[in-house]
Amino acid sequence: MSRSCTVTMTKEQIDDFHDRQVAEEARKSLSADSPLWKGVEWFIDWFRNRVKSFLQNHLSDIPVIGKWASRISVTITEFGFTVAGTLCHFLKAVFCAPTMWKKAHEAAMRAWDENINNGLLAQTYAYGKKMASYFLEIIKQCLERAIKAHGLEVSSDEREDISSTLDELLN
C-alpha cells in the first residue's frame, strides 16, 4: 500500500526555495575549485605569451627603434596582464563570497518589486538588468583596485585628459 503526503507551502517559501537553488548553482559554477577559474588563468597566461611573442617578432624588425619599441611594448604588456591576473584573483574571491551574491540578489529583488505593476516580463528584465549592472560595478571596482595594487594609477589631470579624448572619439 502506497502512502502519499501533501506538503503545503506558501508563495514566499516557494520563492525562497527557488532563490536558494539558483544561488547554490551560481556558487558551484563560480566556486574557487571550479574549472572556470583555471581556464581563465590559463587563457590569460596563453594570451600574454602570444601578445609578447607577436610584439617581439614584429616590432624588433623596425629599423633603429625596433629593439627598444619591442622591449617597451613587452613591458606594457606585462603590466596589463599582471593587472588582468590580479583582477581574476579579486573576482574569484568576490564571486565565491556568499555575501556578495546575497547583496546582488537583494538589489535585483528591489528592481523586481519596483516593476510589480508592469508584469512578469518587465520584472524579469529589471532583475536581469540590475544583476548585470551590479556585477559590472563589482568588476569595475575590482579592476580599479587591481590597477591601484600595482601602482598604475593616473593623475587627475591625466584622467580628465583621457576622459575628454574618449568623449571626442566616442561621441
Are the C-beta atoms of 58 and 72 separated by less than 8 Å?
Answer: no
pLDDT given at position 143: 92
pLDDT given at position 7: 65
| All structural domains of the chain with their residue ranges | 36-96, 97-152
CA distances from 40 to 36, 103, 165 (A): 6, 25, 32
pLDDT for 77-101, tens place per residue?
999 999 999 998 888 888 888 888 8
Q: Which residues of the chain have pLDDT under 50?
A: none
Q: What is the pTM of this model?
A: 0.68
pLDDT given at position 125: 95
pLDDT given at position 110: 95
pLDDT given at position 23: 65
pLDDT given at position 144: 93
Are the C-beta atoms of 167 and 104 separated by less than 8 Å?
Answer: no
pLDDT given at position 167: 94
